Amino acid sequence: MIAVGFSRGQSWIAAAIRWLTKSSWAHCWIEYPSHTWGGRWMAHATDRGLLKELAQPKLDYWGVVVRYKAVRDITKGLEACRGYVGKPYDFMAIAGHVVRIVGHWVTGKRMFNPSRDAARLTCSEFVALILKEAGVPGTESWDSESITPGDIEALCSRSDDFHVV
């Protein structure tokens, strides 16, 4: 089973992300089985960069998580985005998200993230790219560099392609 997962996070940064995005979630990832390495793994972006690592220690640490089982095969998206693993985290995108969100609050208009760096990604940008590359309906018009964990959770919660695990 491949799943899209979400956590609240325990840091002040996670609390700020949840507040700014008006979402329950501060972090997201793709969780998948590995027949080569054994066990369940996750692909996600952290302050250490874009990683693939064992899922269980992280899930235990995060505590409150929600996972959506992908009914649609999103392996194509994982394969298309595997070259991003090892890339650095996009800290500037966080500042860009703040500008974008505050700009939306002030003007009422949806804005794109002004701080864009395709070589660096945040967790939601990484997951958005994977889902978009997998051809998940509802992602066609996504600008992956302007997507938040809450946007991804909203897609999963309303899509027939995902079920809560």
Following DSSP, what letter does each residue of 28-69 receive, concatenated? Answer: EEEEEE-TTT-SEEEEEEETTEEEEEEHHHHHHHH-SEEEEE
How much is the average pLDDT of 100-122?
A: 74
How much is the average pLDDT of 73-96?
A: 86
**Over 70: is that where the pLDDT of 47 sits?**
yes
| Residue 13: predicted pLDDT | 82
How is the chain split into domains, by residue range?
A: 3-164
Residue among 135, 134, 137, 129 at smallest CA distance from 156:
137
Question: How many residues does this entry show for the chain?
Answer: 165
What pTM, to 2 d.p., does this model score?
0.85
The answer to whether the beta carbons of residues 30 and 72 sit under 8 Å apart is no
**Over 90: is that where the pLDDT of 100 sits?**
no
**Over 70: is that where the pLDDT of 32 sits?**
yes
| Residue 97: predicted pLDDT | 67
**Over 90: is that where the pLDDT of 70 sits?**
yes
Handedness of CA 123, 23, 62, 131 (dihedral sign): negative
Superfamily of domain 3-164, CATH level 4: endopeptidase domain like (from Nostoc punctiforme) (3.90.1720.10)
How much is the average pLDDT of 10-24?
A: 84
| Residues 6 or more apart in contact with residue 6 via CB below 8 angstroms | 24, 25, 27, 28, 65, 66, 67, 149, 152, 153
Mean pLDDT of the chain: 87
